[in-house]
Structure 1
C-alpha cells in the first residue's frame, strides 16, 4: 500500500499562514482528499488542526475542499468561508486587540505577572527552606561539638570507623561488580540452592548500580560531617600531630579492612577485568596449561597489588586525616576568621569539604599504586564519582555561606548594598537584552565577547538570587523577640524552618507544575483562534463567554478524529518533543529529545526505533505508546487544542537541543514555560495529565533536567526534535510527501530540513536526496518547489517522492506581495518571535504559499489527473497543455544543443 503524507513545518503564525495558502492551492487542484496523513509541527500544527477540525465539523472533506478554493464565493465575507476570515480576525491571536490600553493587552500582561509571582514565591520558599535548614543544622552542630563529643578507646575507635566505612565500601564493591554481572547457574544440591538465592539478590543489587552514586554522595556527606564534628569538638590543644595520629590510627586499620573487602567483593582479582589493559586472555571452553598458569600468575600479581596499595592508601588516609584535624583545629582557634567570619560557622562550611578531600586523595593514592592492574574503565567510574563529589562541595560552600555567613556581613555593607543591587540588575538586564537581540555587527566579535557574556549572565543572576534569599533568611531570624532565651531562639528557628517547609509542600501540591505555567494562557488563545474558527456563528454565539470571548466548546477530543467517529480527513499526527537532557544512549545525547506524537489512536514515543519487540525492565516499557482515549485523561484522552499547544511550546526550560542549565534557571524563574509535564506512557502514571506533587518537576525545570525514565516526562515544541514533520511520515514509509517549510531561515541553510534528513538516515536507514539550488540561490530563475527522492532501505525497498515547498521570493509574485517584500526586507524570513501579524503581513504570507505551487506539474503527483471543480479547465485541456509543455521543452533542449 502506497501511503501519501502532507507535512507542515514549525515557524509560528508565519508557517501557519504560509501553509494556509498551500492548503488552498491543493484544494483548488482537487488533491486534498488523496493524503493519508497530515503531520504537523508547532506553527504548522495551528493550521493543521484548523483544517482537521473544519473537516470534522463539516463531516465532509470535499465540502471543505470546495470552500477552501479562493474563487468559491463571490463574497469573501460570506459565512461559508468564515473559517478563513476568522483567521484574519485573530492574526494577533495572543492579544487580538493590539492597543497598549486594550483589555487584551492588560489581561495578557497581568496573567503572566500573576503566574510568575506565584511560581517565584514557590521557588523562593524552596530556597528559604534550604537556607533555614542549614542554619538549623549549624545549631545542632554547635550542640554536638561543645557537649556531646565522645572520647573513644582504640578498640571503640576501630569499631566505629569500620561501621562508618563499611556501607561505602559495599556500595562501591557493588558498582565494581556491575562491570561483570554474576552468571547464575542452577545446582541440584540443596546447599547450592541457597547459594543461588544469595547470588540472585546480589545480581539484583548489581542491576541497581545506577542508584549507587546517589547513595555514595549521601554516605560521603554524612561521613564528612561526623568526622569534621569529632575533629572540631575534640579538645586536643596539648596534642601535637604525632599524638593526633596515634588517636586516629584505628581508622587506618578499618580503612585497610574495607579496601580488602572492596577488592574481594568487587571482583578485582578476576582476570576478565584486565582485558581492557590487554593483559588477559579471553575465556574459552578449552584452555591450555600455559594459559591457566598465566591466569594464576596474574591473580597473584593483582592480589599483591591490592594488598600493597591498600596498606599504602590506609597509611596515607591516616596522614591526611591528621592534617585535616590540624587544619580544622586551626580554624577553631581563630575566634573570628579574617576578622569577618565566625570560626564556628567557618568550620561547618569548610569542615565537610576538607574530609571529602581526604577521601578523594586516599582513593587517588590507591589507584596510583594499583597502576595498570586497575582497568581504565573502572578509573572512569571513579573519575565520574570524583566529579560529582567536587560539584557537591562547590554547591555546599555556596549555599552554606549564604545561609550562615552572608547574613552577618549585610549590616557592615548596608551602604554599598543599594549600589550593588543596582549594578546586578543592570548587568542582568543588559545581558538579557543582548540575548534576544538579532545578529548584527561582526559575527566573530559577537561570538567572542557578547556571546560569552550572555552565557555568564544566568550565573550572575543565580548568585544574586542566592544573596536575596540569604538576606531574607537573616531578616526572618531577626523576627524572634530579643527577650527570648538562647534555647527559645533555637526552637524559634526550628519552627521557622518547619513553617517554610510546610508552606512549600502545601503550595507546590496545590499549584502544581503545569497549572500556573504559561501553557494554559497559550493554549486558550490558540484554541480560540484556530479551532473556534471552524464553528458556525450561531453555535459559538450561544456558548462563548461574552466577557472573555473564550469557549470550551471550541476544542475537540483528539480521539474523535477517526473514521468510526465520522472524520473523513487525513490521519492527524501532531509532533512534539519529549525532552531528555539526561540520556541513557550516548549516540542520542546531542539531541536531548525524542519524537513524541499525539494521534487519534495512540500517543507516545518510540525510544528504540530499531528494536522489533516490546519488553520491559523493572516495569519500564521500551516502547511507549498508549491508547489516546485514556492517555493523560481516562475520560477521552487529550484534546486537539492541548496537543496543538504542546506542539507549539517553542520556549521552555527543557527544549531539546537548545537546553542549557543556566538558561533554564532564568526561564523557570520568570515563568517562560510553555511546555507540559505529562504522565510517562512507559510508566504507571500514563493516565495522569499532571504530577500530584509538582515540586520535584518544578526543580527539574529550574535545573534544565528531564529524563525519559521518570514518572512524568516534559513535552515541548516538536521543532526541538524535528521542525519539519518529516520524521514520523518516513517512519510510516510514505512514498509521496509534500512538505511545506515555513520556518525562519535567514541564511537559506535549510537547517530544519537537513536535521530531519540526517535523523531519518540515522534512525531508519532512509536516504533522502534533494536538489535545493533552484530555491536557495534566488534570482529570476529560482523556484519555490523542489523535488526529491526517498529511498527506503532493503534490496527491494520502495522509492518515494518528496516535494519540498519553501518560503522564498523569486520576483514572480503578485504586485502586493512584491510591495510588502520591498518594504519589509526580512520577508519572508521574519522572526518567529513575531506572533502579531497585521492584515498586510497575514495576506502576504498566505498569498505566497498559494503562489508557491504554479500548477500540478510542480507536484509530480502520482497517477492523478485532477478534476477541478469551479474551474473551466477540463481533463482533456489539462492533458493537452501538458503535452504542449513537453513538446516545447524538447524543442528548447534541441536548440540548446546547436
Structure 2
C-alpha cells in the first residue's frame, strides 16, 4: 500500500477483482457486508445454518437458476463483498473464507483457479445433509461439500472431540501452565520474602517497623506537605517556600528535635521524647519533600508540557496528592508483607506437619469461586437476586484471598528452608540459608525476566487456537478428505492435527481469491492512558481490525505478494509496523489465521475490554484463565521511520514479570508499551458490524447475525453498537418503521419490543431492519433524511415451521437458542438444532433453492425502492 492509498481503496480493489472473477454486476454497485457476531460455538453453528441458507437462496435480480448454472454467479451469498467477524462468528467465518483459496479444498480446476475455488466454496455450503465422517468414503469422488460439512458436525466438542484422551491432554497442559505461571510469579515473591526474613533474623526486630517507617518518612510527610505551600493570589502562580506555613514548621521542627532529644535523655520523659522525635522526623521529611517538589516543578523543561501550567500551586497540589497515594500503597504493601511473614512463621510453628492441608483446601474453594465468577460474568441476564450482588467486589475479594493464599505458600517455603524443615531457630545457620535462598531467587528472577515469550506460551491461547484451527480450518483443508485410504485413516481422526490446516496471513490475504474481504476484529485493551482517561475508564479498549493490505491486479495474477499482506487499523486509523531488528523470541513470530481467530474469540481473560476490573484480572490471572495474548504491534506514528522502545527502565530487564504484573493488575497501556494485550473483539463491539459502518467501505446493506447470549432479548450488543456508531462515526441507527407495516414483511420483521414478547405458535418474526443515517449539519433533525445504509439483523428465535427434532430439543432445553457461551461442548443434538434453526431462519427470509419466495422478493423490492441499493 503506497503512502497516498487508504486501506479502503485496497479493499475496493479486491472487491472489483472478486466481482470480475464471479462475472457479477458493475463495479459501481454498492457493497454488501455480512457480520457474524460473537457467541462461541453457539454463534458459529447458527451462522453456519444461515450461510447455508444464503448459499442456496437466489440473489436479487438474478434469473431462476438452471441445473448447470454456477452457484458463484447467482447465489445470494456470492453478493456479499465484506465478511466481518468477532469471536464465534470468526470460527465459521474463517472456514468460509478459506474455502476460496485456490487448490485448498480440491486441486481439480477446470475453470480459472479463483473461479473454481469460489464455485466449490458455494457448492460446499449447499450440500445437505451434513453426514458423518467415514474413513471408507473417498471424498474426492463425492460432492465437494460432503467432507467439510461432516467434519464441522464431528467437531461440535471442538475443545475435547475425543473425550477422555483430549481431556487428559487439556488437564496436563492446564496443570503445567498453571504451575509454570506461579513459578514465574513466585520467584520475585520468594526473593522479597526471603530478604525480609533475613532482615528479621539479623536485626531481631519486628517487620512491622517497615510499614511504620514508610508511614513516618513518606505517607504522613506527604499529607503535611500539601499544606506547606500557600498561594499568593491565584492558584496558577508558581509555588514558593517563603510563606508563613513553611517557616513556622521549620521552627517547630527545630524545636522538636532539640526538645525531643533532651526529653528522651531523661529517664522519666522517654515516651514523650520519642513522640516528639517522631513528629520531628515527619516534619523534616515534609519540609524536604516540599522543597524537592518545588525545585522539580521549577526545573521541569519537558517540551511536551506548558511550563507555566506545570509550575504552579495547582499542579503542586496534584503532584503531592499523587505522591501521598503512592505512599499509602507502599505502606499497605509493606504491612501486607510483614503480616504475611509473621503469619507464615506462626503457621509453620503451629501446623508444621499439616500446613498444606488447610492451604490446599482453601485454594480448591477459591478455584471453585473463580469458575463461578467466570460463568456469571458471561451471563448477561442474571437472576433478580444475583443482579444485586456486586460481582466486581466479590471478584476483588476472591482475587485478594487467592493472592494471599499463594503468597502464604511461598512464605511457608521460605520458613521451611530457613529452618531446614525442623524446629524454628534463629541462628547464624538460619541467616546463611536465607542468604543463599535470596541469591538463588535473584538469579532466577534475572534469568526468567528475559524470556518474554513465556507470557503467551504459559496461557491457554495456544491450546484454544489449535483446537479452533483443527475444527474449522481443518474443515476446509481438502488434504484431510481427498487423499488415499491410508491417509484418510490418519487425518480423518478429529484428534489428529495437520500442519496444513492453518494458514499464514500472508497466504490468506495475499493469495488472489474471489472470496469476500474478511475483517477480523479484536480488542486492544487500554486502561492506562492519561490522554483519554475519562473515555477509557468506560471502554478500556480500542478496536483493532485486521484486513487485507494487498490486492491483485484486475486482469488477474497468481502467487503471493512480496510485502506484508495484512493491514492493521486501530480505532479506524491505519498503522504501519516496523518489524526490523526484532528480538529472537517466539512472541515476535507473526500470528497465523488460526491464532488471530483465537485472539478474536478470547472471551475469558485478564483483559475484558469495557468489563475489565482489578478483581477479575487478578482472579482470572492467578487461576491462569488467560485466552488473550501479548502482541508487539510496533506501530509507527505518522512521519515516524523507526520504532522506538516504550518500556520503562528498569522494567526492560525484567519484562516477563513486569507484563505479568500489568496483566494481573489490569494495567494495559495500549501501544504506549512494547507489547499490547489483545482479547475478544466482542469486548469492544460484539455484533461485528462496527467496522462495516465506516463510510470509506461504502457498504449499503449489512446482514448481521446477532448471536450474543440474550435470552430476554434486551439487545445489549445492538444498543452498544448504536451508541458507538453515534459517538465515534456520527451515525444514527434507528428501527425502520415501514417494514413493520408492510403486509408481507411484518410477518417476519419485528420491533425490539415485539421480540421481548414470547413468540406465538405461528410466529415467524426473527429479524430487525435498521436504518443508518449520517449526521448532517443544517438538517432540522440533525440527521440525513434518507439512510445511506441498512442493517438487516437476524436473531436466533423459535419460529413456526421448525423441524420436530428442533422443537423437541427446545422443550428439553429451555435455554435454547440462548444457552450459555461457556458451553463450548456441543453434542450432536445441540449442534444440529442450532444449525437447523439458522438454516430455517435464513430460508424464511431469503427463500429456498429453486423456489419462489414472496417474502424474499418483497424484501428486495422494499430495500431497492427505499434505499436505492
Q: Deviations over 1:550-592 (max 9, x none)?
A: 1121111123334x62221111111111111223302222111
What is the rounded CA distance, in whole Å, between the counterparts of 1:457 and 1:133 in structure 2?
28
What is the rounded CA distance, in whole Å, between the counterparts of 1:884 and 1:728 in structure 2?
25
CA displacement at 1:697 relative to structure 2: 1.6
Equivalent residue, structure 2, for 1:156 = none
Cα 1:695–1:377 change in 2 (3 A) is: closer
Q: Does 2:83 match 1:103? A: no
CA displacement at 1:273 relative to structure 2: 0.9
Aligned pair partner of 1:471 in 400, 412, 424: 412
TM-score w.r.t. the length of structure 2 is 0.70
Equivalent residue, structure 1, for 2:186 = 124
What is the rounded CA distance, in whole Å, between the counterparts of 1:753 and 1:416 in structure 2?
54
Q: Does 2:499 match 1:555? A: no
Q: What secondary structure sits across from 1:513 in the alignment?
A: helix
Within a 5 Å distance, the mapping from 1:710-789 to structure 2 comes to 710-731=673-694, 732-770=697-735, 771-780=751-760, 781=763, 783-789=765-771
Aligned pair partner of 1:842 in 824, 831, 835: 831
CA displacement at 1:454 relative to structure 2: 5.3
Equivalent residue, structure 2, for 1:91 = 156
What is the rounded CA distance, in whole Å, between the counterparts of 2:658 and 2:850 in structure 1?
64
Q: Deviations over 1:640-683 (max 9, x none)?
A: 10110111111111221222223322222222111110103326
Cα 1:476–1:358 change in 2 (3 A) is: farther
Aligned pair partner of 1:407 in 330, 342, 345: 345
CA displacement at 1:7 relative to structure 2: 0.6
Q: CA RMSD in A?
A: 5.0
Decide whether the 8 Å contact of 2:197 with 2:341 is kept in 1.
yes
Q: What secondary structure sits across from 2:161 in the alignment?
A: coil
CA displacement at 1:456 relative to structure 2: 2.1
Within a 5 Å distance, the mapping from 1:450-529 to structure 2 comes to 453=394, 455-479=396-420, 490-510=431-451, 512-529=454-471
CA displacement at 1:886 relative to structure 2: 9.4
Cα 1:126–1:354 change in 2 (3 A) is: farther
Give the count of matched residue pairs.
Answer: 702
Q: Does 2:545 match 1:593? A: no
Equivalent residue, structure 1, for 2:13 = none
Cα 1:630–1:587 change in 2 (3 A) is: same
What is the rounded CA distance, in whole Å, between the counterparts of 1:790 and 1:376 in structure 2?
46
What is the rounded CA distance, in whole Å, between the counterparts of 1:356 and 1:452 in structure 2?
35
Larger CA deviation: 692-701 vs 781-790: 692-701
CA displacement at 1:54 relative to structure 2: 1.2
Equivalent residue, structure 1, for 2:48 = 20
Equivalent residue, structure 1, for 2:788 = 799
Aligned pair partner of 1:656 in 600, 609, 624: 609
What is the rounded CA distance, in whole Å, between the counterparts of 1:462 and 1:798 in structure 2?
53
Cα 1:131–1:558 change in 2 (3 A) is: same
CA displacement at 1:815 relative to structure 2: 2.0
Decide whether the 8 Å contact of 2:99 with 2:120 is kept in 1.
no
Decide whether the 8 Å contact of 2:731 with 2:774 is kept in 1.
yes
Decide whether the 8 Å contact of 2:578 with 2:643 is kept in 1.
no
What is the rounded CA distance, in whole Å, between the counterparts of 1:461 and 1:361 in structure 2?
41
CA displacement at 1:594 relative to structure 2: 0.9
Decide whether the 8 Å contact of 1:41 with 1:725 is kept in 2.
yes
Aligned pair partner of 1:51 in 96, 103, 120: 96
Equivalent residue, structure 1, for 2:118 = 61
Within a 5 Å distance, the mapping from 1:143-154 to structure 2 comes to none
Q: Deviations over 1:715-774 (max 9, x none)?
A: 111111111111111124522111011111122111111112211111111111134234
What is the rounded CA distance, in whole Å, between the counterparts of 1:545 and 1:418 in structure 2?
46
Within a 5 Å distance, the mapping from 1:156-195 to structure 2 comes to none
Q: What secondary structure sits across from 1:836 in the alignment?
A: coil
Within a 5 Å distance, the mapping from 1:214-363 to structure 2 comes to 273=236, 306-315=242-251, 359=285
Cα 1:73–1:552 change in 2 (3 A) is: closer
Cα 1:461–1:788 change in 2 (3 A) is: same
What is the rounded CA distance, in whole Å, between the counterparts of 1:94 and 1:884 in structure 2?
40
Within a 5 Å distance, the mapping from 1:789-868 to structure 2 comes to 789-794=771-776, 799-854=788-843
Decide whether the 8 Å contact of 1:680 with 1:686 is kept in 2.
no
Decide whether the 8 Å contact of 2:131 with 2:149 is kept in 1.
no
CA displacement at 1:850 relative to structure 2: 1.2
Equivalent residue, structure 1, for 2:658 = 696
What is the rounded CA distance, in whole Å, between the counterparts of 1:798 and 1:818 in structure 2?
38
What is the rounded CA distance, in whole Å, between the counterparts of 1:880 and 1:746 in structure 2?
26
CA displacement at 1:416 relative to structure 2: 9.1
Cα 1:766–1:830 change in 2 (3 A) is: same
CA displacement at 1:106 relative to structure 2: 1.2
Decide whether the 8 Å contact of 2:40 with 2:824 is kept in 1.
yes
Larger CA deviation: 373-382 vs 752-761: 373-382
Larger CA deviation: 119-128 vs 85-94: 119-128
Equivalent residue, structure 2, for 1:386 = 324
Cα 1:442–1:723 change in 2 (3 A) is: closer
CA displacement at 1:436 relative to structure 2: 5.2
TM-score w.r.t. the length of structure 1 is 0.68
Equivalent residue, structure 2, for 1:575 = 521
- Bigger Rg, which one: 1
Decide whether the 8 Å contact of 2:767 with 2:794 is kept in 1.
yes
What is the rounded CA distance, in whole Å, between the counterparts of 2:189 and 2:855 in structure 1?
76
What is the rounded CA distance, in whole Å, between the counterparts of 1:551 and 1:329 in structure 2?
82
Q: Deviations over 1:228-247 (max 9, x none)?
A: 79xxxxxxxxxxxxxxxxxx
What is the rounded CA distance, in whole Å, between the counterparts of 1:760 and 1:327 in structure 2?
71
CA displacement at 1:224 relative to structure 2: 6.0
Larger CA deviation: 459-468 vs 309-318: 309-318
Alignment gaps of 5+ in structure 2: 1-27, 58-74, 106-113, 294-310, 550-565, 637-641, 647-651, 736-750, 778-783, 863-869
Q: What secondary structure sits across from 1:706 in the alignment?
A: coil
Equivalent residue, structure 2, for 1:80 = 144
What is the rounded CA distance, in whole Å, between the counterparts of 1:653 and 1:637 in structure 2?
22
What is the rounded CA distance, in whole Å, between the counterparts of 2:120 and 2:34 in structure 1?
19
Decide whether the 8 Å contact of 2:46 with 2:837 is kept in 1.
yes
Q: What secondary structure sits across from 1:45 in the alignment?
A: helix
CA displacement at 1:788 relative to structure 2: 0.6
What is the rounded CA distance, in whole Å, between the counterparts of 1:640 and 1:686 in structure 2?
28
Aligned pair partner of 2:622 in 661, 666, 669: 669
CA displacement at 1:428 relative to structure 2: 2.6
Q: What secondary structure sits across from 2:802 in the alignment?
A: coil
Cα 1:487–1:104 change in 2 (3 A) is: closer
Decide whether the 8 Å contact of 2:706 with 2:794 is kept in 1.
yes
Equivalent residue, structure 2, for 1:41 = 86
Cα 1:442–1:415 change in 2 (3 A) is: farther
What is the rounded CA distance, in whole Å, between the counterparts of 2:464 and 2:803 in structure 1?
34
Equivalent residue, structure 2, for 1:647 = 600
CA displacement at 1:5 relative to structure 2: 1.2
What is the rounded CA distance, in whole Å, between the counterparts of 1:259 and 1:446 in structure 2?
44
Q: Deviations over 1:40-73 (max 9, x none)?
A: 0010000000001112125432331123124599
What is the rounded CA distance, in whole Å, between the counterparts of 1:675 and 1:881 in structure 2?
41
Cα 1:133–1:435 change in 2 (3 A) is: same
